[in-house]
Amino acid sequence: MEKYSATIKNGFKYTLKRNIKKYTQNIKMPEKDLGKKQYYSFLSIPVREHHIFYEAFSGLGVLDNPRAIFLQLLKDPAFEDMIHIWSISDMDMAKDNIKEFEDLPNVRFVKRESEDYYRYLASSKYLVSNSTFGYFFVKRPEQTYINTWHGVPTKYMGYEHTVERVENARGPARNFLGADYLISANKFMTEVMYKRAYKLDGLYEGTTLEIGYPRSDLLINADIKKVKQKLEDIGIKTDKKIILYAPTWKGNLYNQLEYDVEEFKNTVKKFSENIDQSKYRIYLRVHYFLYKILAEDSELKDILIPFTIDTNELLSVVDILISDYSSIFFDFLITGRPIVFYVPDLKEYESGRGLYVPVNTLPGIVSSDLDEVASSLDAICKNRKEYCDFYKPQLDEMNRWCTYNDDGLSTQRLINIIFKDYTYLSSRNQDIIKTFDEGKKKVLICVNSKQKSNAFWAEFYQKLKKYDFKTTDVTVLVTSFKDLESKKYFNNLPDEVRVLVWFALPFVIEASKTFYDREALRAFGDVHFDEVLVEGDINEYFADFANNLNGLYEKEPQQG
Residue 57 CB coordination number (10 Å): 18
Q: Is the pLDDT of residue 541 over 90?
A: no
What are 322-377's pLDDT values in tens digits? Answer: 999 889 999 999 999 999 999 988 777 666 668 899 889 999 999 999 999 999 99
Q: pLDDT band at residue 37, thresholds of 50, 70 and 90?
A: very high
CA dist., res. 497 & res. 447, Å (int): 14
CA dist., res. 101 & res. 98, Å (int): 6
Segment 309-315 mean pLDDT: 98
Q: Is the pLDDT of residue 6 over 60?
A: no
Segment 151-179 mean pLDDT: 94
Instruction: Give the model's pLDDT for residue 30.
Output: 84
Q: pLDDT band at residue 24, thresholds of 50, 70 and 90?
A: low
Segment 445-459 mean pLDDT: 91
Residue 2 CB coordination number (10 Å): 10
For the chain, the domains span 11-16+439-549, 44-217+412-433, 223-404
Q: pLDDT band at residue 256, thresholds of 50, 70 and 90?
A: low
Q: What are phi and psi of 364, to 5 degrees?
A: 175, 170
Q: pLDDT band at residue 250, thresholds of 50, 70 and 90?
A: low
List b or e across 184-217, with b for residues whose CB sees 16 or more CB atoms inside 10 angstroms. bbbbbbbebbbbbbbbbbbbbbbbbbbbbbbbbb
Segment 309-316 mean pLDDT: 98
The residues, ordered by sequence, that sit 6+ positions from 239 with a Cβ below 8 Å of its Cβ are: none
Q: Is the pLDDT of residue 448 over 50?
A: yes
Bigger pLDDT: 72 vs 510: 72
Bigger pLDDT: 86 vs 253: 86
Q: pLDDT band at residue 510, thresholds of 50, 70 and 90?
A: confident
Q: Is the pLDDT of residue 554 over 70?
A: no
Instruction: Give the model's pLDDT for residue 457.
Output: 96
To 10 degrees, the CA torsion angle through 307, 311, 314, 319? 130
Instruction: Give the model's pLDDT for residue 128.
Output: 99
CA dist., res. 460 & res. 453, Å (int): 11
Q: Is the pLDDT of residue 26 over 80?
A: no
CA dist., res. 119 & res. 117, Å (int): 5
Asked if residues 417 and 144 have their Cβ atoms less than 8 Å apart, the reply is no
Segment 65-71 mean pLDDT: 99
Tell me the C-alpha to C-alpha distance, in Å, between residue 365 and each of 156, 287, 340, 380: 22, 22, 6, 11
Q: pLDDT band at residue 255, thresholds of 50, 70 and 90?
A: low
Q: Is the pLDDT of residue 20 over 60?
A: no
Mean pLDDT of the chain: 89
Segment 426-436 mean pLDDT: 68
Asked if residues 535 and 447 have their Cβ atoms less than 8 Å apart, the reply is yes
Bigger pLDDT: 326 vs 237: 237
Asked if residues 300 and 264 have their Cβ atoms less than 8 Å apart, the reply is yes
CATH code at 223-404: 3.40.50.12580
Which stretch of DSSP H or E encloses residue 34? Answer: helix 31-42
Instruction: Give the model's pLDDT for residue 277.
Output: 94
Instruction: Give the model's pLDDT for residue 264.
Output: 84
Q: Is the pLDDT of residue 258 over 80?
A: no
Q: pLDDT band at residue 276, thresholds of 50, 70 and 90?
A: very high
Instruction: Give the model's pLDDT for residue 75.
Output: 97
Q: Which of 126-135, 142-151, 447-456 has the lowest mean pLDDT?
A: 447-456
Same fold? 44-217+412-433, 223-404: yes
In 3D space, the residue among 312, 349, 332 whose CA is nearest the CA of residue 391 turns out to be 332
List, in sequence order, every residue forming a beta bridge with 498; answer none if it has no partner.
Answer: 475
List b or e across 325-340, with b for residues whose CB sees 16 or more CB atoms inside 10 angstroms. bbbbbbbbbbeebbbb
Segment 57-78 mean pLDDT: 97
Q: Distance between alpha carbon 435 and the CA centroid of its chain, in Å? A: 20
Q: Which of 109-118, 153-162, 397-406 has the lowest mean pLDDT?
A: 153-162
The residues, ordered by sequence, that sit 6+ positions from 272 with a Cβ below 8 Å of its Cβ are: 282
In 3D space, the residue among 540, 450, 503 whose CA is nearest the CA of residue 174 turns out to be 503
Helical ranges in 43-185 per DSSP H = 64-74, 95-101, 115-123, 165-178
CATH 3.40.50.11820 for the 44-217+412-433 domain, yes or no: yes
Q: Which of 256-265, 307-316, 501-510 has the lowest mean pLDDT?
A: 256-265
Q: What's the CATH number of domain 11-16+439-549, 3.10.450, 3.40.50, 2.60.450, 1.10.3470?
A: 3.40.50
